[in-house]
A and B are shown apart, each in its own frame.
Chain A
């Protein structure tokens, strides 16, 4: 039953924009963090609620002040101090290194691919530096290598998000934020604006097309000659 149930449950987590169906290292890390925290915290919630229900039902008999003091120390120190401090430490121990790897830090060798994205109400202007290629609402990237997206906005605040590849980053007029993404394999990934930006917000979507590196180079050449 269980063995059958889990894949069924997981398939319920699939979808074109599902953060739980990761296709890149950043999204993968977030998904692991989710499943880890989800399991641990479900347990915490259950234990706290069961303890609470038990505490309401039990008949303590006569409790002296001294016993009350002991109960207080046990619960307040154990549950109020040790439990949260321990949980926070564990979460940070996993979370900080994983978060570190999502940052656009310099690579050991070579430069990441750079693509500029400018958000407009309500479309995406995608340009490839030094090539003259400008696209609307679609990105093409090589799979298996890190890509740095230089994000800015021409009008209001927007936010760039491709859930299957990684986290989101806001886009401000006058500033440029860098988001590093990587696709594990070729495919089409769906993205959308996640900062409310007015009337057309719901339809401000785009796709990311990941190619094999060789195909990507071919695509670049092709587009450049077209321009």
Chain B
């Protein structure tokens, strides 16, 4: 795809900047550019980190001496709950997502992420959700049931305040941003790499991010479902976790840790990706064992979904299950060790330049390996029974999370700072920051292992002097404050460097990856022209890439119709397949996020009519968002000189939209499977599970509605197949028929729901069944609306034989809706009937 232009570099730059740049002033709130959004994530995350750190300092102040009452139990419980919540949900995950959003397009040689408006939406959901959660702290009604919100403590009876509602609603809001980042990163990495960048030529960091993004897709939905169920139990009295009525508090623990354990790896993987990126650069040789590491990442991703029970070794589960989860937990040591020794081998064979980022990598190694080793100890059940829920676990978890995430992150900050600022960080102040932080950290948490072994439980606001934990806690608190001073020095260092740092030369660390071929600081479009990539180390093998890129010697150096164009490429080989035209600055993400915020706040204050109106607002903006796609005038209307080879993506059958839809449905499907899990779990394990005397759902109307849905999907599929075979005759008519059948299905299903004598407040059986029916109703309703809009777009001329893109995107949604309907029919209606008879 190398085609040069003869335009002078200056002129090209100005043209690209005009098309790709953000609007000035307040208009910047409409920015969708990945560099801007990524930095916003990072800065906001840093702000939340400081809040979380402040909470930790208050906790350490209270615990410094025995029998203190500076902070009473009510406030203390809010502090530790919020510390965990803020650090996990508002700092660790969003900051890593932000770093990935900033870096990924630059590393794979493209100009933006593939769904730019989704980046912006994710950011606003994160910001607003975070502010909602923090506001509870200011109002002193913060959640106080611990960051894992165990029921029954967090239910309406034992936590009558608003705290848990803030947590459940706020976190779910923030999770929209995680899921959207997940979808966006998966599709971007798979479909927008530079021409020729096959999967095995991809920088190792991208493998880590791909794994992280996929794990978000499968890891977050169980928690989202759990939060919805718990909020329904709190607000509407539906039974899911209450033993009376057939619920089970253990179901919450399963759903929470089904998310919670993968989450640890969602945090660790990108950080390990930073380590794998930096070590070869400072060793000045290619990463040893690239394939081994890729294998280790994949294995780690899989194993991490099979370990959640190791947070629940003391709940009294069968010993065979204990043994299984214990061994699985230890097996994670293997992919971890493979990575550590591959890094060692890289250092072994290279001549290492020991710069500041490498100091942090060394800190990472020591702290993380120590944390990993205590992790193996904890995986051993008979030992776990002793130290579970003591300060030993608090120490272990901070070694793993701070060691496995914060140390590499700071290394990465220092490493990529020149990319953001064009200046180099200071070595001296940086070293002070490191040693203060490292020393303070170990002083706090190394000793805390012993505190736990001496019997101090977690989450106690005070302790008796006679227990003998006083001196350890005092030292831990002093260490904590030293660590805080370290953080202050690092922030000072980074702030000062923006003004006083010496100017960085191009590719200052002599790195091998493509992000260093952009201007420093990065321009809005990253690359003035998009190069072909045939190696894993483009900057080592073609050191003049920055110049040839800037001079427009490579692909897409021509700006057409003010469009933001990037290449779309094959998922495996990386060969260019289409030109993707991206949306430009847009207010829709902000408007949608504000509407969701209104929904959340009205749910919090229990003004349900407003929540309903705002939900319709969300739907309106979301549909408007979809309307501004494809051949719509604000996107890319049909033109006779549209490029043909490669074509524009909205003129093809297999563009990124289809990929985005399928990946989103994978997340959605995980949510549904979690609901199925809940159903079967309660059915088989809840201590007082009971079913109503008569099956509450009438079989025949439900079957009829299913047939209407099946017919709708068949017709829709037929229309799409016709389109693929080159005919758009009757397309509009078929879409209208499919939509009508969909509407009929929705009507029948709604009637079944209304007619059913369901008592969700009395029986868990009926509560789960109701959630299932609402879930089906929502999906069928959305599929119908999408199809109506498609039919309208055919009429206007946005969709046709030469613009066949959109019906193909909607198709998997129909098929999914059909799939969950019949699966629900089997699991919720047929199976219990057969069971009864048997």
Contact = CB atoms under 8 A, between A and B. Distances in A.
Contacts of A81: 334, 337-338
Given A33-B382, A168-B386, A192-B457, A48 B153 contact: no
B387 interface: yes
A19 interface: yes
A173 B152 contact: yes
Nearest to B461: A202
A72 B346 CA distance: 8
Q: Size range of the interface on A?
A: 35 or more
A5 B745 CA distance: 78
Contacts of A107: none
Residue of A13, A57, A75, A98 with highest tally of chain B CB at under 10 A? A75
Interface in B146-161: 146, 150, 152-153, 158
A199 B73 contact: yes
Given A37-B380, A41-B376, A56-B352, A174 B459 contact: no
Nearest to A102: B382
Given A15-B467, A68-B288, A88-B330, A56 B354 contact: yes
A215 B350 CA distance: 71
B385 interface: yes
B345 A71 contact: yes
A196 B151 CA distance: 11
Interface string A143-163: 000000000000111010101
Contact of A34 (B250, B388, B453, B467): B453
B292 A76 contact: yes
Contacts of A198: 77, 145, 153, 158
A15 B385 contact: no
Interface stretch (B313-321, B484-492, B722-730): B313-321
B382 A195 contact: no
Interface in B229-248: 243-244, 248
Interface string A1-27: 000000000001111111110000011
Residue of A30, A87, A177 with highest tally of chain B CB at under 10 A? A30
Contacts of A133: none
A170 B384 CA distance: 13
Residue of A57, A103, A161 with highest tally of chain B CB at under 10 A? A161
B453 A80 contact: no
B376 A167 contact: no
B715 interface: no
Contacts of B380: 33, 37, 91-92, 95, 99
Contact of B382 (A56, A80, A99, A156): A99
A168 B381 contact: no
Contacts of A58: 348
A197 interface: yes
B358 interface: yes
A100 B688 CA distance: 30
Interface string A58-102: 111001000110011011101111011101100110011011001
A84 B146 CA distance: 34
Contacts of B462: 202
A59 B536 CA distance: 25
Contact of B383 (A59, A95, A172): A95
B54 interface: no
Contacts of A194: 388-390, 457-458
B356 interface: no
B816 interface: no
B158 A67 contact: no
B691 interface: no
B331 to A, nearest CB: 7
Contact of B158 (A34, A75, A155, A168): A155
B687 interface: yes
B6 to A, nearest CB: 41
Contacts of B352: 55-57
A59 B383 CA distance: 43
A193 B374 CA distance: 23
A103 B461 CA distance: 32
A169 interface: yes
A27 B386 CA distance: 8
Nearest to A58: B348
Contacts of A57: 352
A214 interface: no
A84 B338 CA distance: 9
Contact of A52 (B331, B365, B373): B365
B453 A48 contact: no
Interface in A197-224: 197-202
Interface in B447-468: 450, 453-463, 466-468
A102 B243 contact: no
B331 A88 contact: yes
A33 B383 contact: yes
Contacts of B158: 121, 155-156, 198
A57 B354 CA distance: 9
Given A45-B369, A58-B348, A168-B386, A15 B468 contact: yes
A138 to B, nearest CB: 17
A194 B391 CA distance: 10
A33 B378 CA distance: 11
A142 interface: no
A134 interface: no
A15 B28 CA distance: 60
Contact of A168 (B152, B336, B338, B388): B388
Nearest to B73: A199
Nearest to B457: A194
Contact of B342 (A15, A48, A56, A80): A80
A83 B344 contact: no
A175 interface: yes
B70 interface: no
B323 interface: yes
Nearest to A96: B323
A115 interface: no
A168 B351 contact: no
Contacts of A17: 454-456, 467
A113 interface: no
A87 B348 contact: no
A135 interface: no
Contacts of A168: 314, 385-386, 388-389
Contacts of A169: 314, 316, 385
A49 B153 contact: no
Nearest to A54: B348
Contact of B389 (A33, A37, A84, A159): A159
B288 A72 contact: yes
Contacts of A55: 344, 347-348, 352
A147 to B, nearest CB: 16
Interface string B596-609: 00000000000000
Interface string A25-55: 0110110011001000100110011011101
The 3 closest A-B pairs by CB, nearest first: A167-B385, A17-B455, A174-B243
22 contacts: A15-B455, A19-B386, A20-B453, A33-B377, A41-B374, A45-B370, A52-B347, A67-B349, A76-B289, A76-B342, A80-B341, A98-B382, A157-B150, A157-B153, A163-B386, A175-B687, A194-B388, A195-B389, A197-B153, A201-B457, A202-B73, A202-B462
Given A12-B450, A75-B345, A80-B334, 13 more contacts: A15-B455, A17-B455, A20-B454, A33-B377, A52-B344, A56-B362, A78-B341, A88-B376, A99-B382, A102-B385, A194-B389, A196-B150, A199-B73
Interface of B: 73-74, 77, 145-146, 150, 152-153, 158, 243-244, 248-250, 285, 288-289, 292, 296, 314-316, 319, 322-323, 326-327, 330-331, 333-334, 336-342, 344-345, 347-352, 354, 358, 362, 365-366, 369-370, 373-374, 376-377, 380-390, 450, 453-463, 466-469, 687-688
Interface of A: 12-20, 26-27, 29-30, 33-34, 37, 41, 44-45, 48-49, 51-53, 55-60, 63, 67-68, 71-72, 74-76, 78-81, 83-85, 87-88, 91-92, 95-96, 98-99, 102-103, 121, 155-157, 159, 161, 163, 166-170, 172-175, 177-178, 190, 192-202
